[in-house]
A = this chain, B = another copy of it.
Amino acid sequence: MTSWDGESELTDAGNRHTAATLIDVANAAGVSLATASRVLNGSARQVRAEYRERVLAAAGRLNYAPNVSAQAVARGRSNAIGVVVSDIADPYFSAIAAGILHEADSAGLITTIAISERVVSREIDLVTALRGQRPRGIIMVGSRSNDDELTERLRRELIAFAEDGGRIALVSQAGLPFDTISFENREGARELAAALVRRGYRRFAVFAGPENLLTARERLDGFAAGLDELRAEGVEVVAVIHSDFTRDGGYLAASELIDRGIPAELVFAVNDVMAVGAMARLREAGVGLPHEVAVAGFDDIATLRDISPALTTVRLPLEEAGAAAVRMLLGAGDASGDATRKVPLPGVLVIRDSTPPR
């Protein structure tokens, strides 16, 4: 053990315009590199109290922050997780992201987010980039399209990651061979439809989102199933209009409905954001909401809970889904293959003023 020469070392490091390293701290504390590492990283090994304090003090003085990249290299794994999300400005995704960030944070994980802007080929690139971080796992939250070739490439990229020991969790993206948190879109839409029929509605228009979007498709199918359920007289789907899964998509679909003069009693938009766009367009056209045309959505976006008339919808546990995905990533079990887990999260029907009894 060399003598206590902390001060000179401190000065030395202080002059350098580069972050303090563990060696700087060790020198400043007059201990070895190994000891400093043991004190600062929570190793199992004990360090004598006196040394421990000296190291801690030196680290404080030098403003030491361990270089996580170096740690990741040395340990062979990082403690980051990667997230691929379509569009963080969309409240649906930002709610899920909030759940992920919160849970990852509690687990001491750092979260890297990348946005795909709803382009599958970008998703693939992002997974490649994320793989380079050697993260503990990757969470993909999206709305898988059914372009087979791209999906296959994505699948291969993910499998490459899984084979290197990475964990994968998908949110709302069934159909890939990995752990998946999904929403019971069919069920929710089914219940919604049945409830609406029970309320007296008969002639429905569905704003069904993009044709190749699985989430949208499930909601459409479920809704259709629910309409038939009660075998009520006169139930009819008077229009199924496909458009973007966005506010503008809903707006455009409503335009089309109006232009074609379709006599719907109720519009079911497959998500809340579309429902809001549709309501705006209907209102512009002087349609009386909700009595002339009723509207229902899906998701129960928090920011939209106070619109008027209050939107009937299916509440999805979005934040919880994000959190569950992180827990799944961290939990024991297979990364892929046969034993993939599928966790379906149910939605709950929320009937509000936008669909009064008829």
Contacts and interface: CB of A to CB of B under 8 A. Distances in A.
A207 to B, nearest CB: 14
Contact of A80 (B65, B66, B112): B112
A91 B88 contact: no
Contact of A111 (B105, B113, B247): B113
A160 interface: yes
Given A89-B302, A307-B308, A69 B78 contact: yes
A143 to B, nearest CB: 17
Contact of A110 (B114, B280, B283): B114
B73 A101 contact: no
Contacts of A134: 19, 67-69
Contacts of A98: 87-89, 115
A97 interface: yes
Contact of A319 (B19, B70, B89, B304): B89
B112 A165 contact: no
A95 B89 contact: yes
A277 B303 contact: no
A341 to B, nearest CB: 21
Contact of A164 (B18, B70, B128, B304): B18
A331 interface: no
Interface string A316-346: 0001000000000000000000000000000
Given A114-B105, A273-B303, A17 B165 contact: yes
A213 interface: no
Interface of A: 17-20, 63, 65-70, 72-73, 78, 80, 87-89, 91, 94-95, 97-98, 101-102, 105, 110-115, 128-129, 131-134, 160, 163-165, 247, 273, 276-277, 279-280, 283, 301-304, 306-308, 319
6 contacts: A19-B165, A88-B94, A89-B302, A111-B112, A277-B306, A308-B308
Given A68-B133, A111-B113, A247-B306, 7 more contacts: A17-B163, A19-B131, A68-B132, A69-B73, A110-B114, A280-B306, A303-B303
